[in-house]
Amino acid sequence: MSCGACCASFRVSFYWAEASDLPDALTERVSPLYSCMAGTHSKAPRCAALQGEIGGAVACSVYAQRPSPCREVVAGDAKCLAARQRHGLP
Ligand code: SF4
């Protein structure tokens, strides 16, 4: 709710069947087996479901349906810290 850095740092990919819980416009197919959140398959990734300003007030517009990578994020782990650093956050 006050960060969002991880939603704008990595490709958020998952087994394609998980996409059935999400609006079509918010996912992209990246291979026969995998899909990703729209906007995250990019050199400057930002999930299309993320609302708000990184490091300010943010929200996931599909929080209840978010895919498994989003559910596995652990605040303060190495990827979290790398994402925050990427966005100039402490
Ligand atoms: S689906 Fe939600 S939690 Fe997952 S990357 Fe997108 S905005 Fe973040």
Chain segment 15-57, per-residue pLDDT in tens: 999 999 899 999 999 999 999 999 999 999 999 999 999 999 9
Q: How confident is the model at residue 3 (pLDDT cuts 50, 70, 90)?
A: very high
Chain segment 26-35, per-residue pLDDT in tens: 999 999 999 9
Which residue type sits at 58? V
Task: State CA 37 to chain mean position distance.
Answer: 7
Q: Of 81, 40, 56, 68, whose CA–CA distance to 4 is shortest?
A: 56
Q: For a pocket test of ligand 1, which of 9, 14, 21, 37 has the largest count of ligand atoms closer than 8 A to its C-beta? A: 37
In whole angstroms, give the CA distance from residue 1 to residue 58: 5
CB 38 within 8 A of CB 26: yes
Q: Say yes or no: CB of residue 83 within 6 Å of ligand 1.
A: no
Q: Say yes or no: CB of residue 62 within 6 Å of ligand 1.
A: yes
Q: Of 8, 31, 23, whose CA–CA distance to 61 is shortest?
A: 23
Q: Say yes or no: CB of residue 38 within 6 Å of ligand 1.
A: no
